[in-house]
């Protein structure tokens, strides 16, 4: 059974600082997704990582995938308050069926 673990689960940081969220998974997969969820809202797609070594960047967020280590990271650069949200990673467990297994989520709070 595929397990996806994120850490930290809670993160409070100041504006302007850098930090990294980690996503580990237990079974071989080369497809990993990052989503953002605001309180009471649905999930918004951030990144799709499809191969070992994939790196994608959008604004202050950068995601990478190391399939050999079964690890993805979401790096936040010079955080701003608008990035406060819960971030989920999800792994495609079924080789392209996109049957996603999600991590528990990382609740990020960015303080002025």
Partner 1 sequence: DTGVSQNPRHKITKRGQNVTFRCDPISEHNRLYWYRQTLGQGPEFLTYFQNEAQLEKSRLLSDRFSAERPKGSFSTLEIQRTEQGDSAMYLCASSSGPWQETQYFGPGTRLLVL
Residues that bind partner 1 (CB under 8 A): 4, 31, 33, 35, 41-45, 48, 50, 88, 90, 92, 94, 96-105
State in angstroms the smallest separation of the CB of 16 from partner 1.
Answer: 28
Angle at 29 between CA 27 and CA 32, to 5 degrees: 115
State in angstroms the smallest separation of the CB of 88 from partner 1.
Answer: 5
Residues 88, 35: contact at Cβ < 8 Å? yes
State in angstroms the smallest separation of the CB of 34 from partner 1.
Answer: 10
Q: Looking at beta carbons only, is 14 or 98 nearer to partner 1?
A: 98
Strand runs (DSSP E) across 1-112, as ranges? 4-7, 10-14, 19-25, 32-37, 43-49, 55-58, 61-66, 71-76, 85-92, 100-102, 106-111
Q: Looking at beta carbons only, is 15 or 38 nearer to partner 1?
A: 38
Q: Looking at beta carbons only, is 19 or 93 nearer to partner 1?
A: 93
């Amino acid at each position: 059974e595929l397990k996806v673990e994120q850490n930290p689960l809670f993160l409070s940081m100041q504006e302007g600082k850098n930090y990294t969220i980690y996503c580990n998974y237990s079974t071989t997969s080369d497809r990993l997704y990052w989503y953002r969820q605001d309180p009471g809202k649905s999930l918004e797609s951030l990144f799709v990582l499809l191969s070992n070594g994939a790196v994608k960047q959008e604004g202050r967020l950068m995601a990478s995938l190391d399939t050999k280590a079964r690890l993805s990271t979401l790096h936040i650069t010079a955080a701003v308050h608008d990035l406060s949200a819960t971030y989920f990673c999800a792994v495609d467990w079924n080789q392209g069926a996109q049957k996603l297994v999600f991590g528990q989520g990382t609740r990020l709070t960015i303080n002025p």
